[in-house]
Structure 1
Amino acid sequence: MSRVENLPEDFDKKLDLNNGTQTQAVAPNTSIPESLNSQATPFPLKQDGTSNTPNPSQPGAAMPPAMASIKQHTADEVLKMMNRSPLFMTTLDETDGEGGENIELEALKALAYEGTRAEVAGNFREQGNECARAKQWTDAREFYDKAIAALKAPVKPQNPEEGPAVMEIVELDEEAEKKKEVEIEEACYINRALCHLEKSMGPHGSLLILRQNYRSCIRDCASTLRINPRNIKAYFRSATACLALDKLDEAADACSIGLSVDPQNSALKALSQKISARKAHLEQLERARREREQRKAAEAHTLAVALKARNIRTRTTARPPSDMEDAQIKLEAPLDPSSTLSIPVLLLYPLHAQTDFVKAFRESETLAEHLAYILPVPWDEKGEYTAESVECYVETATGGLVKAGKKLPLSKILGSGKVELVDELLSVNVLPKGAAAAWIEEFKRRRRTP
């Protein structure tokens, strides 16, 4: 049975309500948005025939082009193409996938610089604040950099043909705009100072980088205070950075001025106490260092007096031995020149290229006392070296040799004025009695040979 409908005169006459298939009426001048068009494809269709879609000749296999464009690509390909859209980006890809320009991304970037300087800078400032709240200090600092750069960008010149009324309105707007710019600039400088400070206090980074971050924090705080001399955060952060660099006078000044602005600020009070404690600690270290240096100088002077009183000659060379450890000439009481003197002694066995080292040979002791426990030596296979069968020789200051009596105290050997200590060390040549004469002749021959 047919139905009768009252239709508008301009209704499409081709629409038959009695027909089982109905078509949608569309106004002649109305265009369907591309995003709603069933023929639009979100991803490019493959032209090489390598489609993942079923054969259209199969029942139920036909599908709209939009769905076909998705079915033609693998999941990885779809994710990769979606990542080039700013809305779905998980990693930054500034190309279109074929080395060309990513138009959507460039358009989104351009939007960031649309508007007045205050609007552009304010946008970057808000993004920096979001990163700072997430403790992403590097990203936050970059956004504050962009905000400050936007505020320093050149102003677009006004058109004088706009008329006096428009010019007056523009001037009023410029005054409000300038005020807004100053507020944003102050906030960006002090927030960027926080980024530098937090990066300096992090667990990573070389000492040089940490110092650079602290200095950058101080510079940004100074820029903040040039804009607003009453910014308490600038005084606090500047003082914190100066304290980290041990610039204690500057840190104390920053705290003092900050407290003159806000006398009840608890953070500045606590920081001021830390600065005072650090200053006291460094002063204590400096006093201890001066005392050590003074004592060292006094000990050196006392030792020089003791050596002179004993007629002991000393000489230093350009290349002193490096393996003496803590062995050195010293007095039993370092500030008493009359106390017992100890000297490092090197026992040389020139015929076998062997040595023994006595780190503290007391001036009252004899060579025989030390040879008694040193000899015999393990490398002496022939048994030539015993306390009774050896002779000792010491080189003189003039390059000759003098026989050192084994039963003489060391003070007697050194006090003769012929022997000298070279680099705080006395060298004694130890030889078997039967081989001593030949070795002495060889020593003299080497000395005569130029």
Structure 2
Amino acid sequence: MSDKTESNKKAPMTDEERLALCQKLDEELDDFINSLEKKRYTDGWPEDRWEEEMDKHPFFMKSVPSDGELSPLAEGLAKLKYDPEENTPLELANSYKEDGNFNFKHKNYRLALLGYTEGIKVRCDDADVNASLYNNRAAAHWYLKNYRSALFDSEKALTFDPNHNKARLRAAKSAFEAKKYDTCIAHCNKLLEKRSNEEVIELLNKAKKCKLVQERDERKKIRSDTKKNEDKDELIKSIIQRGIRISKCDDADDIDLSKLEPTLPGAHDAIVHLENGVLIWPILLLYPEHQMTDFIKGCSENVPLMKQLEQVFPAPWDRDNKYKCESVNVYYEGYDKMPHIIDPMKTLGEILVSKYFELKGGTAAFFILPRGSVIERNYIECHL
């Protein structure tokens, strides 16, 4: 090596020199930072709203924005997650299940139903996932009090996993609420075959008691329906035997209770009935002059019509005192479309079998007019 080369080679830096250089560089960096304009960083998330801002990011979003619009990135992520071309049926089913679980935890049970339903529609081949989807949907139905649907989904879950105890317990509870006590008892017994459980035993005992009450009520209903049918047959038989003409009935075989029900509002409970073999009819008294009516719910066929008039006269609206039992005429309009005067001293039963009388709407209707008045004359002339 030449002398020139050796003279150009620098001597190594000592520790003191290296320390001095580092201090100088630090001082220069501090001077540079201190020379910068001091201002607050404003592009980040505010400390008091960082969770709100985080929820707006597609990766951390928990719900759809209030305006219903998603950013292109969020739409892309959703498509990536739910696109059948990008996911297997099992992956899709799990994604929809996760979506349903999220809404279920936040008590959005109707949205949870939608998530689980979409997962079920995928029809993946995994029995455990299908059992979970149906069981979870049953839980959502349960909280919405859709007990029949909860029962259906719980039993569907059991077809995929017969040992799914949660699904079977929910099936038992749903069956109880839906008053399907035999089904409830069957599911309870299945659960108790595996292990004793106080909740299941209590539910089983309640179902057995309710079943007994239900069976008793059903027997009472059968007896009641049988009695009603017998009474109905006896009622129609009595009407036919008396020869009473019923509107819109071509013959005796055409008579039924639907054609005997009063058509007046609020009068449905006044239908003709039998009391000790006597027909009790609703009747309608009409006063054309004042456009007023009196409805009498129960008038015995054995009582003269005059007795009914005595109950309504004097009328509070009759300021001129024209409507009195001895000063009015009573008419009915027959099936010949003509007015027919009647003797109010006759019984209702006798009037109902008059030659032209026809019972309409299950109610005997009579027109009450002051005898010899202009309104009576006009009433008669308008039918001529």
Normalising to structure 2: TM-score of the pair? Answer: 0.66
Deviation for aligned residue 1:426? 0.8
Query: Does structure 2 conserve the Cα–Cα contact (< 8 Å) formed by 1:83 and 1:93?
Result: no
**Number of the residue aligned with 2:36:** 62
Show structure 1 runs of 4+ deviating over 6 A.
9-14, 123-135, 139-151
Deviation for aligned residue 1:277? 3.0
**Number of the residue aligned with 2:381:** 442
Deviation for aligned residue 1:367? 2.7
Q: Any unmatched runs of 5+ in structure 1?
A: 1-8, 25-37, 39-55, 111-116, 154-181, 446-450
Deviation for aligned residue 1:377? 3.0
Q: Any unmatched runs of 5+ in structure 2?
A: 1-10, 82-87, 250-258
**Number of the residue aligned with 2:346:** 408
Q: What is the aligned counterpart of 2:263 among 318, 321, 324?
A: 321
The size of the alignment, in residue pairs, is 345
Change (3 A) 1:150 1:297: closer
Measured in 2, the distance between the counterparts of 1:232 and 1:254 equals 10
Measured in 2, the distance between the counterparts of 1:428 and 1:126 equals 71
Residue deviations 1:82-106 (CA, integer Å, cap 9, x gap): 556689x575689xxx95537xx96
**In the TM superposition, what are the counterparts of 1:255-294 in structure 2 within 5 Å?**
255-260=188-193, 262=194, 264-294=196-226
**Number of the residue aligned with 2:171:** 238
Measured in 1, the distance between the counterparts of 2:352 and 2:117 equals 74
Measured in 2, the distance between the counterparts of 1:253 and 1:371 equals 65
Measured in 2, the distance between the counterparts of 1:145 and 1:75 equals 39
Tell me if 1:195 matches 2:195: no
Measured in 1, the distance between the counterparts of 2:246 and 2:21 equals 126
Query: Does structure 1 conserve the Cα–Cα contact (< 8 Å) formed by 2:150 and 2:171?
Result: no
Higher share in helix: 2
Residue identity over aligned pairs, in percent, reads: 20
**Number of the residue aligned with 1:426:** 364
**Number of the residue aligned with 1:75:** 46
Query: Does structure 1 conserve the Cα–Cα contact (< 8 Å) formed by 2:45 and 2:53?
Result: no
**Number of the residue aligned with 1:307:** 239
Residue deviations 1:334-354 (CA, integer Å, cap 9, x gap): xx42xx432111112234433
**Number of the residue aligned with 1:41:** none
Q: What is the aligned counterpart of 2:288 among 337, 350, 358?
A: 350
Measured in 2, the distance between the counterparts of 1:61 and 1:274 equals 83
Measured in 1, the distance between the counterparts of 2:101 and 2:13 equals 55
Deviation for aligned residue 1:136? 5.8
Instruction: Give the SS at the match of 1:21.
Output: helix
Instruction: Give the SS at the match of 1:220.
Output: helix
**In the TM superposition, what are the counterparts of 1:21-420 in structure 2 within 5 Å?**
21=23, 23=25, 62=36, 70-71=41-42, 75=46, 79=50, 83=55, 89=60, 99=71, 101=73, 152=124, 186=128, 188=129, 191-202=132-143, 204=144, 207=146, 211-225=148-162, 230-260=163-193, 262=194, 264-316=196-248, 321-323=263-265, 324-332=267-275, 336-337=276-277, 340-416=278-354, 418-420=356-358
Deviation for aligned residue 1:234? 4.0
Change (3 A) 1:346 1:17: same
Measured in 2, the distance between the counterparts of 1:349 and 1:377 equals 11
Query: Does structure 2 conserve the Cα–Cα contact (< 8 Å) formed by 1:224 and 1:234?
Result: no
Measured in 2, the distance between the counterparts of 1:240 and 1:212 equals 12
Query: Does structure 2 conserve the Cα–Cα contact (< 8 Å) formed by 1:311 and 1:417?
Result: no
Task: Name the amino acid aligned to 1:328.
Answer: I
Measured in 1, the distance between the counterparts of 2:108 and 2:119 equals 15
Task: Name the amino acid aligned to 1:370.
Answer: Q
Change (3 A) 1:61 1:342: farther
RMSD after superposition: 5.2
Measured in 2, the distance between the counterparts of 1:60 and 1:408 equals 121
Query: Does structure 2 conserve the Cα–Cα contact (< 8 Å) formed by 1:331 and 1:342?
Result: yes
Instruction: Give the SS at the match of 1:393.
Output: strand
Query: Does structure 1 conserve the Cα–Cα contact (< 8 Å) formed by 2:151 and 2:170?
Result: no
Instruction: Give the SS at the match of 1:402.
Output: strand
Instruction: Give the SS at the match of 1:347.
Output: strand
